[in-house]
Amino acid sequence: MKEAEFNVSVPDDVGGLLQEIHRRGGTMKVKVAENILSANDRVAEENSRLLKESGVYVINMMSSPGAGKTTLLEKTLAALKDKYKIGVIEGDVATTADAERIEKLGVPVVQINTGSACHLDGSMVRGALEEFDLGSLDLLIVENVGNLVCPAEFNLGEDHKVMLLSVAEGDDKPLKYPLMFRESAALVINKIDLIPYTNFDMDKARRDSLSINPRLDVFPLSCRTGEGLDGWLGWLESGINAR
């Protein structure tokens, strides 16, 4: 965590936990954490303004490591890249492996390596945006770092957050990790081809997700077989066309 450069006080109504942190002298850490988030929101708003002026529709794709973000990107690009001008930002702790997968499809891609950070933030994306001719793009897809918690806390300036849950992760994840489900506009439930080998209960996953966020659009699909991909592609195209 960075040193305190800001000075915003913790609200009085933060409850017993923060009072206890305060009593133990941990107040500054809480203040700094709050300020990192609000400083990020300011950069995200600038990104959002720039992207809206450029007329590009932007989604921020999030999930646990390995849920299938890059594979869904590959399928999505294969289906839409001749119809729309698309750019991709890849976020990973290390390597350019995912960017290399996207590059093979002839789509402009920028890789961000976060080093130790478990999420992308507004400033990282701001730097990557400078590498694109934004005015020529219809759609920009940001693949966030694989992590089911932190990416949902950081706005990037996107129009919509989209999350993936793969059936191998278990149907208990919506209730255990509610923030990402709450923040997202669409939920892709990937790897449905593996359902026969798991105890994943689709009805429960859908019900619990919607209990957290009734506005979620839910798309069960398999990147492997292609089943269900059309619903997802239709949702994405309506976002592009609305912009």
Ligand X SMILES: Nc1nc2c(ncn2[C@@H]2O[C@H](COP(=O)(O)OP(=O)(O)OP(=O)(O)O)[C@@H](O)[C@H]2O)c(=O)[nH]1
Q: Confirm or reject binding of residue 76 to ligand X (CB under 6 A).
A: no
Residue 157 touches which of ligand X, Mg ion, none (Cβ within 5-8 Å per kind):
none
Q: Confirm or reject binding of residue 66 to ligand X (CB under 6 A).
A: yes
- ∠ CA 179-182-188, nearest 5°, is 100
Q: At closest approach, how far in Å is the CB of 70 from Mg ion? A: 3
Residue 191 touches which of ligand X, Mg ion, none (Cβ within 5-8 Å per kind):
ligand X
Nearer to Mg ion, 70 or 209 (CB): 70
Contact predicate 144/91, CB 8 Å: yes
- Longest CA span, the chain: 59
Q: Confirm or reject binding of residue 70 to Mg ion (CB under 5 A).
A: yes
Residue matched to tokens 């923060």 = 18
Among 44, 67, 107, 229, binds ligand X (CB under 6 A): 67
**Cα(92)–Cα(113) distance, integer angstroms:** 5
Residue 144 touches which of Mg ion, ligand X, none (Cβ within 5-8 Å per kind):
none
Q: At closest approach, how far in Å is the CB of 5 from ligand X? A: 31
Q: Confirm or reject binding of residue 60 to ligand X (CB under 6 A).
A: no
Q: Confirm or reject binding of residue 98 to Mg ion (CB under 5 A).
A: yes
Among 174, 222, 232, 236, binds ligand X (CB under 6 A): 222
Q: Confirm or reject binding of residue 142 to ligand X (CB under 6 A).
A: no
Among 71, 111, 184, 209, binds ligand X (CB under 6 A): 71
**Cα(99)–Cα(110) distance, integer angstroms:** 7
Q: Confirm or reject binding of residue 223 to ligand X (CB under 6 A).
A: yes
Which residues within the stretch 10-49 sit at the binding site for ligand X (CB under 6 A)?
A: none
Contact predicate 177/93, CB 8 Å: no
Q: At closest approach, how far in Å is the CB of 13 from ligand X? A: 37
Amino acid at 28: M
Q: How many CB atoms lie within 10 A of CB 18?
A: 16
H or E segment to which residue 75 belongs? helix 69-80
Q: What is the DSSP string of 80-135?
A: HTTTS-EEEEEEESS-SHHHHHHHTTT--EEEEE-TT-SS--HHHHHHHHTTS-GG
Chain contacts with ligand X (rule: CB under 6 A): 63, 65-71, 98, 146, 190-191, 193-194, 222-224
In the complex, the residues that contact Mg ion under the rule CB under 5 A are 69-70, 98
